[in-house]
Structure 1
């Protein structure tokens, strides 16, 4: 059954002290993590030698969570109230993001991530209470800032039994290139392990169906975004992504295949999207190439 925990979102005044909060982390851009992600994406990335450029979004493999086991909440995330505000709503998802890639990170770089909470916005949607948290990340190596990222997180109410689902949006069907993805528990486990993501919706079927009310294991939002840029790399291997923006629209699950799609959208731009097995839009994105 869905969670019965308190779900009313208080005023954002309760978290005003979190706006402007900062955090800085340091890590090494290891080839092992990048090679493991390539295997998860069912591709080979030859030449991952010291100094070689990493594909975009590989910074998500680093700066992984470090909470002790005693600091983990019921959902597998770190308990609320650390760097992120203690929003009481039970469902937390990666809602989207906007990124600019100024130069590549490289294998064996020492990299830093400086993060700042930009805004916290509470609102009521068709599906219940929502709280949006925007975090700005700047990822740098010895050459300076390589990636600037705005990371959008959404906290949601638990589902109400019998409540109508929001009307889905039809996905475009005019793609110029596409790839079918068949997610399974192994793929989702491997990605969770690579990013040290303990969120139980991605690997614990009993939890995700009984507590959070989903029909299957949830495909990670950043994994879908990575698959979209992986599609770009397969189609335009000589191009370099300068900007990328994505928004999660509808969850995808391990019980059905989905399709990542793309088409040109003006000079140097690509429209990208993920389409579920019913033809509905799951993620919308755009990429600007150099």
Structure 2
């Protein structure tokens, strides 16, 4: 039987956020690039003015800077403001679709305009789900450079009788694979780089005792960045036209995981469509993604 824990009036109120926009300005600087390169264990040349900003590294900019008094108990900024005040405890970056129209480089003055595209509700046996779709458009001095659709899902904490979703086996026959050791330092550094105070990524007592997970949760954007970085390492000099990913199940720091990729020749004989995925230590699929090369 489906459970309805959010009143229809609340859904109607949340949908008042439809069409809400906000904009931020920033400057593409070298220091965050050097720091992420070190975090990913890359031996990149030091970035200088006009150095190309690798795909997905725009997530290093336009960071939220909520004051300490505005932080909620989970380490996120308190609900409300640009994002609707969804009354569900768990928030997750569920996926994104990104298109690159033009490159960004060190020294660029950039602007991101964000818009709430949709707020939808689903109710199931495990409780309520609220999906918020945010569209970001990133421009530099030459015009529009990146279009990104960002899926955010809010959900209730699991009940004692909830059954986990059956896992999906990861694809086989990868052409490229890399094993990642998600230790505390990696998660801390990525949280610091993205000014992400969400406690599930660094506070073991909170994540295990309050949220009920077995370990620290590896950031979805970090895994997506590792997927793209695998493609960059495997096909030197490549540039991406588009990338999309969907988070399937959480990845925890208590075990190593793998990122893998292969050209999807069935879908695209040219070899420009790359199937990419992450899998846990039991070879269950945790993230599924597709990149299309320029």
Give structure 1 regions of 4+ aligned residues with deviation exceeding 2 angstroms: 7-12, 125-128
Change (3 A) 1:240 1:8: same
| Distance of 1:241 and 1:157 partners within structure 2 | 36
SS at structure 2 position matched to 1:250: coil
Question: Deviation at 1:98?
Answer: 0.1
Figure out how many residues of one structure are paired with residues of the other and give that number.
284
* 1:8 paired to 2:24: no
Question: Deviation at 1:162?
Answer: 4.1
| Distance of 1:47 and 1:192 partners within structure 2 | 22
Aligned-residue CA RMSD (Å): 1.1
| Distance of 2:68 and 2:41 partners within structure 1 | 31
User: Do the aligned residues in 2 keep the contact of 1:9 with 1:130 (CA within 8 Å)?
Assistant: no
| Distance of 1:240 and 1:126 partners within structure 2 | 43
Q: 5+ unaligned residues in a row in structure 2: which ranges? A: none
Question: Deviation at 1:118?
Answer: 0.1
Alignment map for 1:66-81 (pairs within 5 Å): 66-81=65-80
Q: Describe the superposition over 1:231-286 as per-residue Cα deviations: whole angstroms up to 9, x where unpaired.
A: 00000112110000000001001101000000001221000000110110000000
1:109 matched to which residue of 2? 108
Q: TM-score, normalising length from structure 2?
A: 0.94
Q: TM-score, normalising length from structure 1?
A: 0.96
| Distance of 1:63 and 1:9 partners within structure 2 | 32
Question: Deviation at 1:74?
Answer: 0.4
| Distance of 1:242 and 1:63 partners within structure 2 | 22
| Distance of 1:196 and 1:166 partners within structure 2 | 31
2:288 matched to which residue of 1? 284
Alignment map for 1:138-157 (pairs within 5 Å): 138-157=137-156
User: Do the aligned residues in 2 keep the contact of 1:9 with 1:131 (CA within 8 Å)?
Assistant: no
Question: Deviation at 1:174?
Answer: 1.6
Question: Deviation at 1:126?
Answer: 4.7
Q: Describe the superposition over 1:46-78 as per-residue Cα deviations: whole angstroms up to 9, x where unpaired.
A: 141011111011110011111111100000001
* 1:249 paired to 2:253: no
Change (3 A) 1:126 1:191: farther
Question: Deviation at 1:17?
Answer: 1.5
2:163 matched to which residue of 1? 164
1:3 matched to which residue of 2? none
| Distance of 1:126 and 1:237 partners within structure 2 | 46
1:127 matched to which residue of 2? 126
Question: Deviation at 1:176?
Answer: 0.8
2:43 matched to which residue of 1? 44
User: Do the aligned residues in 2 keep the contact of 1:105 with 1:146 (CA within 8 Å)?
Assistant: yes
